Amino acid sequence: MTRALENNNKSLSALYKTWGWAAAHPVLAVCGYIVVVSVFFLVFPKVDLWASGLFYVEGKGFVAKDVPILREFRHLGPYLIKIAAIVSVAIMLLKLLLPARSPLVPLRTPVFLVSTLILGPGILVNAILKDNWGRPRPNSVEVFGGTAHYQDVWVMSDQCASNCSFVSGEASGSMWLVALAFVAPLAWRAAILWFVLPLGFLLSLNRIAFGGHFLSDTLLSWGLTLLVLLFVHRLLYRTGARAIDDTRLDVWFTKAGRGLQRWTGRAAAAASRAAIRFKNRFSKAS
pLDDT tens-digit map of 161-206? 888 999 999 999 999 999 999 999 999 999 999 999 999 999 999 9
State pTM to two decimals: 0.89
The answer to whether residues 29 and 19 touch, using CB atoms and an 8 Å cutoff, is: no
CA atoms of 64 and 36, how far apart (whole Å): 30
The answer to whether residues 108 and 245 touch, using CB atoms and an 8 Å cutoff, is: yes
- The pLDDT of residue 261 is above 70: yes
| Average confidence (pLDDT) over 213-227 | 97
CA atoms of 10 and 257, how far apart (whole Å): 59
CA atoms of 228 and 42, how far apart (whole Å): 23
**DSSP H helical ranges for the chain:** 2-24, 26-43, 46-53, 68-74, 76-97, 108-117, 169-176, 179-183, 186-209, 215-237, 246-285
Stronger pLDDT, 132 or 23, i.e. the higher one: 132
The angle formed by the CA atoms of residues 25, 30 and 36, to the nearest 5 degrees, is 125
pLDDT at 224: 97
Residue 170, CB-side half-sphere exposure with 13 Å CA sphere: 24
Find out whether the peptide bond into 125 is cis, omega within 30 degrees of 0: no
Point out which residues pair with 61 in neighbouring strands: 57
CA atoms of 23 and 28, how far apart (whole Å): 10
CA atoms of 30 and 216, how far apart (whole Å): 15
- The pLDDT of residue 242 is above 70: no
- The pLDDT of residue 2 is above 80: no
Q: Tell me which amino acid residue 80 is.
A: L
The answer to whether residues 139 and 212 touch, using CB atoms and an 8 Å cutoff, is: yes
- The pLDDT of residue 5 is above 70: no
Taking the chain, what is the end-to-end CA distance rounded to the nearest angstrom?
A: 107
Point out which residues pair with 141 in neighbouring strands: 148
| Average confidence (pLDDT) over 129-152 | 94
DSSP letter for 148, please: B
Distances (CA, A) of 198 to 21, 193, 228: 24, 8, 20
pLDDT band at 135 (very low <50, low <70, confident <90, very high): very high
